[in-house]
Structure 1
Amino acid sequence: MAASESLSGPNELGEREREAVEALLYRLADDEFVLADRYTDWQVRAPTVESDIAIANIAQDELGHARLWYDLLEDFGYSEPDLIWERDPETFRHSTLCELPFAEGDWADAIVRSYFYDEAEHLRLRALEDSSYPRIRDRVGKVLGEEDYHREHAENWLRRLVGGDEGRERVQEAVDELFPYALTLFEETEEDAAIDDLGIRTRSLADMRAEWVETVTGTLTDVGIDARAPETDEDGQVVADELPDHVGRDGDHTDHWASLYDDITNTYDELGRDHAARLMEDPDDE
């Protein structure tokens, strides 16, 4: 599925090409943005000072990654308010794994979620290293380098938590709850055929999901946690019974998303803003 040739710049893309690029960028950016905000729920609540600093740094990294992908969407004429602050929450395309509130006071929830997400993100980013869209290809390296640290942090904590009976029980509960939501990271939409055909991504979601399942179930089994591969149909798609009621990629979110979006945009709304100040340098100017 490797790209045979590079696509044009944003102003020269055909309609099908632009729709495919935009669909992929929205997923990448929305996942990172929403999960970063969820991570801030752990600010000054993590079990150690070191882990508090680490989760804050990870949240900052994810916000920076979201900024990289949203910036590429601005190539198509969107403004930051269009993309975040004034956007209809139903148009967000993040996986519902990202929007769920953490189980109260349960660090195992944060670690399992991070482990699931970071293993998936690693695969998704590697599939963009040879993307046919140069603007995506040029930014993947920076994101991958930081995501490698996130994966290491999550797996190290995972192994640490299962060292005791209580920790292992909490990890098992988090795995049972979050595994179906993690599968939504690989759910296809109508744009995926074009994304693959045009070489914007060099691996299919089904292929990446299969590797992700093998990796995470292998690690979890290795540390004494029960996990199994989901049932799939003859086309390799996860059967509906294995997925949660709300997937996210199609705009169908849990009730938690509406309240989270209100929290995210509250200050912007309360101040009566109609634009957003630029808090980070444009990546193209760095």
Structure 2
Amino acid sequence: MASAEQLAGPSELSDAEREAVETLLFRLADDEFVLAERYTEWQVRAPTLESDLALANVAQDELGHARLWYDLLQDFGPDEPDLIWERPADEWRHSTLVERPFAEGDWADPILRSYLYDVAEELRLEALVDSSYARIRDRVGKIRGEEDYHREHAENWLERLTDDEDGRRRVQDALDRLFPYALTLFEPADEEVEARIDDLGLRTESLADMREAWLETVVPYLDGLGLSVPEDADLPAEIGRDRSHTDDWDDLREEFTRTYRELGRSEATRIMKDPDEVSE
């Protein structure tokens, strides 16, 4: 499926190649950033101090991963405010799974959501290991190492939560609610551009192949916990990849950009360097 030809650096890409790279990077970066913003809502609210710290660490990791992908988008001109703080809400490309609010006070929601997302994330990172675009390929190793911990954390908690009838019921409720949105992780942003991403070798597995591999992993695992996976679930009306979003997204974006706007900022303070910058 993928071309073996290596793509040029950012300044030498054709318009079609650049569009494909940008589309892929927005998929990656927006998912990570928005999910991290949701995870921060659980700070000091998790059932134990250990789990509170663990989810805070996961959120920090996801923000760092988003930073790595947004840095690559800055190769094409936009700066951080353009990409995050000042980008219109209807230009974001994240899956609607990551923007949905958590069920209030229900720990089963972030844990089940994390599991569904982390399995998908593992598959798409694996498909980037041999990407034809070196600047994507060079970042995958660092991210994969941290994502292994995220999935392990989610699985450990799922097994604990489904160990009794009440916990299993709460996880099932979360599964029924979230599974249709999880399917949007594998939806195209644009059919023609997604095909070009594959043809250029930017990733080595198609969205359809990754969706199938994801189902082959999550369905038997969740079945084994006594859960019933709604495999015939319809996609929600709002996909996210195609820039259609739920009303919850407007509220979340309003919240995480508030401080930036109230302080009258025109640029964002960098809290970590681009990994390409040479240390002095």
TM-score, normalised on structure 1? 0.95
CA distance in 2, matches of 1:47, 1:220: 22
Other-structure match for 2:271:
279
Other-structure match for 1:215:
217
CA contact (8 A) 2:44 2:52 kept: yes
Residue 278 of structure 1 deviates from its aligned partner by: 1.2
Counterpart check, 1:176 vs 2:176: yes
3-state DSSP class of the match of 2:84?
helix
Other-structure match for 1:64:
64
In structure 1, the gaps of 5 or more residues are 231-240
CA distance in 1, matches of 2:189, 2:259: 33
Other-structure match for 1:197:
199
Give the number of equivalent residue pairs.
Answer: 276
CA contact (8 A) 1:29 1:65 kept: yes
CA contact (8 A) 1:186 1:209 kept: yes
Counterpart check, 1:266 vs 2:258: yes
Counterpart residue type for residue 216 of structure 1:
V
Q: Deviations over 1:259-281 (max 9, x none)?
A: 10010100110011111111111
CA distance in 2, matches of 1:229, 1:2: 29
CA contact (8 A) 2:71 2:274 kept: yes
In structure 2, the gaps of 5 or more residues are none
Counterpart residue type for residue 174 of structure 1:
A
TM-score, normalised on structure 2? 0.97
Other-structure match for 1:24:
24
Residue 229 of structure 1 deviates from its aligned partner by: 3.0
3-state DSSP class of the match of 1:74?
helix
CA distance in 2, matches of 1:222, 1:164: 14
Give matches, 1:79-228, under 5 Å: 79-190=79-190, 191-228=193-230
Residue 282 of structure 1 deviates from its aligned partner by: 1.3
CA distance in 2, matches of 1:228, 1:6: 40
CA contact (8 A) 2:112 2:175 kept: yes
Residue 3 of structure 1 deviates from its aligned partner by: 3.5
Aligned Cα root-mean-square deviation (Å): 0.9
CA distance in 2, matches of 1:112, 1:245: 21
Counterpart residue type for residue 45 of structure 1:
R
Other-structure match for 2:78:
78
CA distance in 2, matches of 1:189, 1:268: 28
3-state DSSP class of the match of 1:242?
coil
CA contact (8 A) 2:2 2:199 kept: no
